Structure 1
Amino acid sequence: MHSTLIDAATLASHVDDPKWLVLDCRHDLMNPAFGREAFAAGHLPGAQFASIDDDLSGPKTGTGDTFRGRHPLPDRAALVATLRRFGIDDDSQVVAYDAHGGMYAARLWWLLRSVGHEAVAVLDGGLPAWQAAGQSLTTEPAPVRPAGSIAERPALTRAVSVEDVVANLATGAFTVVDARANDRFRGENETIDPVGGHIPGAKNRFFKDNLQADGTFKPAAQLKEEFAPLFASPAAAVMQCGSGVTACHNLLALEVAGLPGAALYPGSWSEWCASAERPVATGA
């Protein structure tokens, strides 16, 4: 069973295994059509496309204080139905990939764990690593699989609400770690974040800092050393980002580092900044 990362060679050796299921999670925040177009232009053999907006998020609802973010978590029953539509069973080995260092594939990894499915891994290095290993892409349509039978089980993940994060401003019970790029954290990128800045007291760990120059994850020992100064323990850490997607990359990196137990703030910055009542910090 692979439950964090998998390399291209190992995946290639299982590409025809009916118990293995590959999902393409490519996405572009500024171009919602990008993922499907990229999939049609070339994808891993046997892969299916999983849309961040349509498959891996719930509907956006509310405004202001009731807005739950740009990519709210799907309802658990709806998520299980989606996973079954992909053909996932309880004994399926799922592999998620993208072309962006795992920033979107990690969302699927976290979601599957949130319904108790442990056999899910992210392709280390993504599509570039697959091609660098001499493996081919295809434009063949995604295979039609019979409906899966994955069951909803106790979560292997933790999540906190916006109310928890508001309360934490006074208690300091946990440390919020923001996975956005430094300029967004400082409040200097109005194109993506019209309301710029970060949650007061949050620390910044850009998700790309988890990666080596070739786009694969840093070794576990190095990740552990780099995360250690950010919080007292994983149990006292909450990962966030712009909308609860790339925060999952930090959670995956923590798992690789042998530091499990941190929580996700799903609404993240897009939920937080929707209410003028919630304080905003700017700068480094």
Structure 2
Amino acid sequence: MNENNEFLVSTEWLEKSLNNPDICIVDCDPYDAFGRAHILGAVGIKVHHYIKHPDYSKSPKEYPWVAEPDVAKEIFEDMGIGDTTTVVAYDSNGGLWAARFWWVLNYYGHSDVKVLDGGWKKWFDEQRPISNEHKKNHLAEFTPKANLDLICTLDQGISNVQNKNVTFVDVRSDGEWDGSNSRGNKRVGHVPGAIHVEWTNFLKEDKYQTFKSKDEIQKILDINAITPEQEIVTY
């Protein structure tokens, strides 16, 4: 999906926009990777890149939620993200972490955020500007407005397993879906009745893992009977 749209931007577009003070480029890879090299002018994520509770890494089971509003506000403002900032997120992992950052910002009411199609790998191979310096961020004011409709709690999930108007979509790997890969979890398998579409199916099979076209993605959704009339819960 090469064209710029509501959710994606191209490497060509971003290079032309590097000097735009209203754009904040966010490297969503682990912070040590950001320190080695990143897109010129980008900022890194100093905390866990899923933007979880500060103690998530110490105890994931006890702190599974996204960071609280006051914590998110501090994180985003420290990165130079304000209420009117256009954010472009990227990573070197097929857009997985950038998409997570996109979701967290949308959860907190900031919809002006894009994902760089092709991410760091495409940018680097095209020899576009990079740096290993840490820039001084702009002063910013971020107002978190949590949208609880974007989260499904465990209790909500359990109560809706039999609801025909709710569709659970399991986007994990085949091994996680069928239970052959526990990834260290005590229980394996999937939510009863869930549809399995691994997230990588929406990406092209090239070294940059750019997104498939709108028509290709729609075909995947149609084949799996995933429609906008349903309430979709992904995991």
How does 1:1-284 map onto structure 2 within 5 Å? 3-26=6-29, 35-51=30-46, 53=48, 56-58=51-53, 59-60=55-56, 67=62, 69=64, 72-140=65-133, 142-153=134-145, 155=147, 158-214=150-206, 215-228=209-222, 229-233=224-228, 235-240=230-235
Q: Is contact 2:221-2:227 (8 Å) kept?
A: no
Name stretches of at least 5 consecutive residues in structure 2 with no aligned partner.
none
> Following the alignment from structure 2 to structure 1, what is the Cα–Cα distance between the partners of residues 177 and 220?
19
Q: Is contact 2:50-2:101 (8 Å) kept?
A: no
> Residue by residue, what CA displacement relative to the aligned partner does 1:148-199 show, whole Å, maximum 9, x if unpaired?
1122346496221111111112334311101111111111113343422111
Q: Is contact 2:89-2:101 (8 Å) kept?
A: yes
Name stretches of at least 5 consecutive residues in structure 1 with no aligned partner.
27-34, 241-284
The verdict on how the C-alpha distance between 1:154 and 1:63 changes in structure 2, with shifts beyond 3 A counting, is: closer
The verdict on how the C-alpha distance between 1:3 and 1:151 changes in structure 2, with shifts beyond 3 A counting, is: farther
> Residue by residue, what CA displacement relative to the aligned partner does 1:98-151 show, whole Å, maximum 9, x if unpaired?
0011000111101111122121001001111112333132212x2111331122
Q: Is contact 1:179-1:206 (8 Å) kept?
A: yes
Q: CA RMSD in A?
A: 2.6
> Following the alignment from structure 1 to structure 2, what is the Cα–Cα distance between the partners of residues 163 and 153?
23
> Following the alignment from structure 2 to structure 1, what is the Cα–Cα distance between the partners of residues 174 and 167?
17
SS in 2 for 1:53: coil
> Following the alignment from structure 1 to structure 2, what is the Cα–Cα distance between the partners of residues 19 and 61?
32
Give me the TM-score of the superposition, normalised by structure 2: 0.86
> Following the alignment from structure 1 to structure 2, what is the Cα–Cα distance between the partners of residues 211 and 147?
36
SS in 2 for 1:21: strand
Give me the TM-score of the superposition, normalised by structure 1: 0.72
